[in-house]
Structure 1
Amino acid sequence: MRMILAATLSIAAFVLSPAPTRAAGSDDSEPPTPTETTTQCEEGTVWDEKTEACIKPEDSSLNDDQRFGAVRELAYAGRHDEALAILATMTEGETSRVMTYRGFLLRQTGRIEEGIAAYERAIAMDPANILARSYYGQLLVQMDEMQMAEAQLDAIRGAGGRGTWAETALAQAITSGVTTTY
């Protein structure tokens, strides 16, 4: 009986412990590490580690994950228009992850209606996309649409997003009125 109780408590502790936080478009909560993309490359180019040169983002030597990393880095650096241009070169098309980041970048550049459409498209493609729901909810906070923002928070929690960056960022935005810029 004690072994069953101990095992149950261990499982409960694991399940109830908060998950690591997540930042926009990434698998960690840390800001992206600046690379040559933001420190040396001219506008409209990204750093390619293989060639050790700044190249056009549509170059076939880059894959979408590399492009996406550059988009995230540029967005964090506040270079939203450049990030949008690179996002447009992604070969995977209008996937949920692309539309999530498109919505974020459009929101940051003040193109609210386009941002809303991008978030809604991301969520329609993947209703469990908690990052899109968090960013959309934060936009709703900015618009003082608190009930709608809380509905996004509920959807995040319903999709298993308790303790994630997405949940934490939106919950804090609802409480404080301050949204994230990364």
Structure 2
Amino acid sequence: MKIHLALATVAALAFGVASFAPVYAMGDGDSGTTTPKKCKKGEVVKKGKCVKATSGVLPDEDLYQQGRALAQAGEYDWALTVLAAVRNQNDPRVLNYIGYSHRKSGRLDEAFGYYHKAIEIDPNFVLAREYLGEGYVAAGRIDLAKSQLTEIAHRCGTTCEEYQELAEHIESGLN
């Protein structure tokens, strides 16, 4: 998946993220491969074509994957539009990337609510804990960030990626 995210970043730069960003058709019937396609904001890829992001236009998993790719590419408002089209709004992964998009857009209080809901559904979701901790760092609440770091250590140890990333953010004060 990291390769897909790297491709998303490269494609976003190539297409100019001001009006277009990469959206990936994932599991939408296009031979099972991930195909880069540029669409307008508010659209997703369905069978190689751009369509308006609405509930039911694609399976939830496909909407989640495209919303996640957009969030990782820095298209936060577009990601929120796509993630809002997911029918299961209680999927912790969806809640996590809604929180991520709000956090990266500077809306920390909104982000915290989504991260907390994701963790309430799945207390072992260490990626949500990492992102929540990064939000706490951005808010200057290092004590709360360290609390999430401890929770991550209990769930996956101190060598897992989420622990390492949050520890680095706490040390450097990045969000």
**Contact between 2:37 and 2:45, CA under 8 Å: does it hold in 1?**
no
Relative contact order higher in (CA < 8 Å, ≥ 6 apart): 1
- 5+ unaligned residues in a row in structure 2: which ranges? 12-21, 24-35
The separation in 2 between residues aligned to 1:39 and 1:76, in whole angstroms, is 16
**Contact between 1:29 and 1:165, CA under 8 Å: does it hold in 2?**
no
The letter of the residue matching 1:131 is L
The letter of the residue matching 2:171 is T
Residue 45 (structure 2) aligns with: 47
Q: RMSD across aligned C-alpha pairs, in angstroms?
A: 2.1
The letter of the residue matching 1:76 is Q
Larger displacement relative to structure 2 (60-69 or 128-137): 60-69
Q: Matches of residues 81-120 of structure 1 in structure 2 within 5 Å? A: 81-120=77-116
Correspondent of 1:147 among 143, 159, 167? 143
CA offset at residue 173 of structure 1? 0.3
Question: What's the TM-score once normalised by structure 1's chain length?
Answer: 0.74
The separation in 2 between residues aligned to 1:30 and 1:47, in whole angstroms, is 15
The answer as to 2:7 corresponding to 1:33 is yes
Larger Rg: 1
Correspondent of 2:155 among 159, 168, 171? 159
The separation in 2 between residues aligned to 1:149 and 1:59, in whole angstroms, is 34
Question: What's the TM-score once normalised by structure 2's chain length?
Answer: 0.77
The answer as to 2:122 corresponding to 1:126 is yes
CA offset at residue 28 of structure 1? 4.2
Give SS of 2:53's match. Answer: coil
Give SS of 1:41's match. Answer: strand
**Contact between 1:130 and 1:161, CA under 8 Å: does it hold in 2?**
no
